[in-house]
Structure 1
Amino acid sequence: MRPSRTRRASALALVLLAAACGTSAATGGEAATVAPASAGRTAYPLTFDNCGTRVTFRRPPQRVLILNGTSVGEVESFLLLGLERSILANAQSYGVSDDPSMTARIKALPTGGLTMNKNFDVPAEQVLKLKPDLVVSTWSGGFDPARGFATREQLAAAGITSVVNPVNCAMGKPEATEQEKRAYRNQSINSSLEFLSLLGRVFDVQRKAFDLIGRLRARVESVRARVAALPPRKVLIAYPGMAMMNANGLPAVMTGGIYDDVIRAAGGVNAFAGQTADMTRTLNREQLATAQVDVLVVGLFTPAEKGAEAAAKLFAAYPHWAAARSRTFTVVSDGVYLGPLNAWAVEKISKVVHPGG
């Protein structure tokens, strides 16, 4: 039984706010020592440092547990690389996706009969009982015993390897290094591709990873080239269904890191560029009303939400936006998050930022 989306969003809010306060920044490719995916084969044993933990793979994992972590990027990466047969249990889901095929593919994956604890992830006893050979977490907090989760040391003692998405090493890691924190602040579309590269090495699917990364990068770079000479327009990414993340009950406005990078690739600039993730929590009505917004990007959190209706409500509430006067908006879901679907979001957003470009 999965927690409700409202409760999961609240958990996501806590994770983001912790990162903004500096207690859980994250780390990207800077901290990962795994070589990039190539056309070659993986030489086992494969050993590398992951968030300060030395991990070794003697063969491709066959029984993988993907923890929730209020993320969907890891399971989507597995699916795009054709690794679904290696998944013993998946705890990630979202219900709506910028890739029309993704929702059904995730739903078809085994869940292992797992249940979440009060901290919205799989408790230690269930992980150990399932006996996976690899546990994947989007953040270091997925192995925090204070939250009821199995530690990486416990898993290793049981013969279970663990991996954290390298860009999020410092999230939930109080002793995070400055390098790890800096990598999180600089999170970008490349960070999403780095996780695909890591999986390519671990599972000996480097050719697939190499080709996939090339295709995804080419889609993004094609858009960048098309809009490069055009003046950037102010873009606001707002998730009305995540209003529980904002102290004032406003839509969750996404800023910094990968959100800014996705907008830049599409030919825009974030309406709140230069702000940290803390803006999501602290944004007030006056700041939102006076923001320069040429293009509204409505983020969907649940399948029940209607993007056009949400846009109309925001335009009525903030009529001074240029986007409200021109009715300029588009709708995204998971493509602006850390994960392999950034190209989908870049393409969608670019079509309204520079429709004739």
Structure 2
Amino acid sequence: MLMTTSACGKGDTASAVVTQASAPPPVTAAPTAYPLTIDNCGRKVTFDRAPSRVVLLNGTSVAEVESFIALGIVDRVLANSQSYGVSDDPAMVAKVAAVPTGGLTLNQNYEVPREQVLALKPDLVISTWAGGFDEKIGSADRDQLAAAGINSFVTPANCAFGAPVPRPEDEARYRAQSVESSTELLMQLGQVFDVQQRAADLVNGTRSELAEVSRRISGKQTKSVLVVYPGMSMMNNNGLPAVFGGGVYDDIIARAGGTNPFGGKSTAELAEINAEALASAKVDVLVIGLFQASEKAELFADDLFRKFPQWEASKTRTFTSVSDSIYLGPLNAIAVRKIADAAHGA
């Protein structure tokens, strides 16, 4: 299911309306047959059984640990280095904190050093991005792990991210990230850990939630939705709130009946957004991203409304907040619903 728009003129969001696309068929599941061999970023990985000693690398992600929690397989985690200060699921922060850390500490590159990984003797190491296995940042690379009899896995949508020589198909997959990329991660983990029915149930539940939002906002006027993380201003070269766009962020906004004024831009382009660009952007709905529990969305919104009074969102005080649900992971339906509620009262 993907939200689409129609308009009288190209790029004329003022006259665009949300249209409803048909939902994909339900996902089905079957037990995993071992040995199981999968293709992961062009690398063949074979599992003789479901892994039971898993290390989750950091990569400033929570997609993987939250997927393990959603699938009910945290008992397979030997050591987790992923965390986030706040969640759109009220129970998630505590659940992540309860996952064993194995005494891991991060190096200056915010990743788990190879010595710590090898000392734990895991049977699987998971990274959210290909660059997590780069020895230049102090990590064990995939060949070093294989030599020690340890399997490795990269979240499929991020196979090109940080890869020295990414395959064209992985580059295309990275550029086309969407809510379905979160689905792909859940289904792949479900297969590896023989919990495919749980994965299918999660995916079908998410698709059902998204279909309901799609039905409710169909025919309503498309809104311009800006997503910013004020607490991540270090990502913007001009000291402004980090602006999020492209990939899964654009897809979530589209599914909520919106368009991103900075949609499709690369990380480098987003880092260069200045005050003039923000001032001239059409913003009907402001989405405040939260990174720490101490952050207050209302205060951030008030500050931006004062600085950019020309936004329609500033005039109507239309905003909402998200935290981890807008990233890759099992919570994307929450972000879609929250943005749709703010934009359309859906």
Output the TM-score relative to the length of structure 2: 0.91
CA deviation vs aligned residue, 1:66-125 (integer Å, no higher than 9, x gap)? 000010111000000001100111000001011111000000111000111111110111
- Percent identity between the two aligned chains: 56
The AA in structure 2 aligned to 1:168 is: N
Map 1:47-196 to 2 at 5 A: 47-196=37-186
CA distance in structure 2 between the aligned counterparts of 1:307 and 1:243, rounded to whole angstroms: 15
Query: Is 1:229 paired with 2:219?
Result: yes
Shift of 1:178: 1.5
CA distance in structure 2 between the aligned counterparts of 1:274 and 1:109, rounded to whole angstroms: 35
CA distance in structure 2 between the aligned counterparts of 1:37 and 1:329, rounded to whole angstroms: 34
Residue 14 of structure 1 is matched in structure 2 by none
The counterpart of 1:328, out of the listed 291, 295, 318, is 318
The counterpart of 2:306, out of the listed 309, 316, 321, is 316
CA distance in structure 2 between the aligned counterparts of 1:117 and 1:273, rounded to whole angstroms: 33
Query: Is contact 2:27–2:204 with CA below 8 Å preserved after alignment?
Result: no
Residue 248 of structure 1 is matched in structure 2 by 238
Shift of 1:275: 2.5
CA distance in structure 1 between the aligned counterparts of 2:250 and 2:168, rounded to whole angstroms: 22
CA distance in structure 2 between the aligned counterparts of 1:277 and 1:64, rounded to whole angstroms: 30
CA distance in structure 1 between the aligned counterparts of 2:132 and 2:266, rounded to whole angstroms: 23
CA distance in structure 2 between the aligned counterparts of 1:206 and 1:45, rounded to whole angstroms: 16
The AA in structure 2 aligned to 1:87 is: V
CA distance in structure 2 between the aligned counterparts of 1:203 and 1:275, rounded to whole angstroms: 36
Residue 19 of structure 2 is matched in structure 1 by none
CA deviation vs aligned residue, 1:123-144 (integer Å, no higher than 9, x gap)? 1111000111110000111110
Residue 265 of structure 1 is matched in structure 2 by 255
CA distance in structure 2 between the aligned counterparts of 1:147 and 1:256, rounded to whole angstroms: 26
Point out where structure 2 has 5 or more consecutive residues left out of the alignment. 1-25
The answer to which of 226-235 and 206-215 deviates more is 226-235
CA distance in structure 2 between the aligned counterparts of 1:48 and 1:352, rounded to whole angstroms: 41
Residue 200 of structure 1 is matched in structure 2 by 190
- Number of residue-to-residue matches in the alignment: 321
**Which consecutive aligned stretches of 4+ in structure 1 deviate over 2 angstroms post-superposition?**
36-39, 273-280
CA deviation vs aligned residue, 1:312-356 (integer Å, no higher than 9, x gap)? 01101111100000000001001111111110110111001101x
Query: Is 1:217 paired with 2:197?
Result: no
The AA in structure 2 aligned to 1:98 is: D
Query: Is contact 1:253–1:279 with CA below 8 Å preserved after alignment?
Result: no
The counterpart of 1:281, out of the listed 261, 271, 287, is 271
The AA in structure 2 aligned to 1:153 is: D
Residue 13 of structure 1 is matched in structure 2 by none
Shift of 1:290: 1.1
Point out where structure 1 has 5 or more consecutive residues left out of the alignment. 1-35
Shift of 1:37: 6.8
Shift of 1:161: 0.6
Output the TM-score relative to the length of structure 1: 0.88
